[in-house]
Chain A
Amino acid sequence: DAGITQSPRHKVTETGTPVTLRCHQTENHRYMYWYRQDPGHGLRLIHYSYGVKDTDKGEVSDGYSVSRSKTEDFLLTLESATSSQTSVYFCAISAGRNTLHFGNGTRLTVT
């Protein structure tokens, strides 16, 4: 898992509640990413970070915010969860050679 830990691994939450997912890396890589994976859509980029406090939006960023206060931690927050945000969320780091390494995902269900 290339030194990437995602927490929690599973979460069930109610519509309208805030949710924060955490990604922790031990590799000291500069670039970190949050993706969601849904059937028929594949992996879609939500947000990414290119350094501490440096973040940018991906293709499906609406309803999500991120923060990176330390190199090793990248947080994804759903400000007010909706059923359309039920998905599997993957954190990834860019490990050089233009490749990505992924964590094992967080399975989020919004009821």
Chain B
Amino acid sequence: QKEVEQDPGPLSVPEGAIVSLNCTYSNSAFQYFMWYRQYSRKGPELLMYTYSSGNKEDGRFTAQVDKSSKYISLFIRDSQPSDSATYLCAMSPNTGNQFYFGTGTSLTVIP
């Protein structure tokens, strides 16, 4: 079993829709949770960062962490064609510098 599971999609939505992206994990030691956005032929860029449980909002993006369920989500409101990319979740325990990635979800926002 992989430490981090992510539905690969692909996901296709109309412009303006609310998008929900999710990851589950098995290691209860994970404390840091990240979402990366990756455009075609580019490196992943950090989009959202959360420590422990709770919600974090940044503009149209909201990251949620539910440690009791070992489940994290990224919501995108009023989705735009420029949001079309692959979204990767990533996690890290409290100690050390190890990172664990989901395989990514491909999102297309149709104008």
> Using a CB–CB distance below 8 Å, which chain A residues touch chain B?
1, 4, 31, 33, 40-43, 45, 48, 50, 90, 94, 97-105, 107
For the complex formed, measure the closest distance between the CB of A101 and the CB atoms of chain B, giving whole angstroms: 7
Q: How far, in whole Å, are A55 and B63 apart by their CA atoms in the complex?
A: 33
CB-CB contacts below 8 Å: B82-103 with A: 88, 90, 92, 97, 99, 101-103
- A to B CB contacts below 8 Å, 15 in the list: A31-B97, A33-B99, A42-B6, A42-B102, A43-B101, A48-B97, A90-B43, A97-B32, A97-B49, A98-B32, A99-B34, A100-B34, A101-B46, A104-B41, A107-B41
Which of these, B43, B46, B103, contacts A99 with CB under 8 Å? B46
> Using a CB–CB distance below 8 Å, which chain B residues touch chain A?
6, 8, 31-32, 34, 36, 41-46, 49, 51, 88, 90, 92, 97, 99, 101-104
Q: Indicate if the CB atoms of B43 and A41 lie closer than 8 Å.
A: no
For the complex formed, measure the closest distance between the CB of B37 and the CB atoms of chain A, giving whole angstroms: 11
Q: Indicate if the CB atoms of A100 and B32 lie closer than 8 Å.
A: no
For the complex formed, measure the closest distance between the CB of B104 and the CB atoms of chain A, giving whole angstroms: 6
Taking CB atoms, residues of chain B closer than 8 Å to A43 are 44, 88, 101
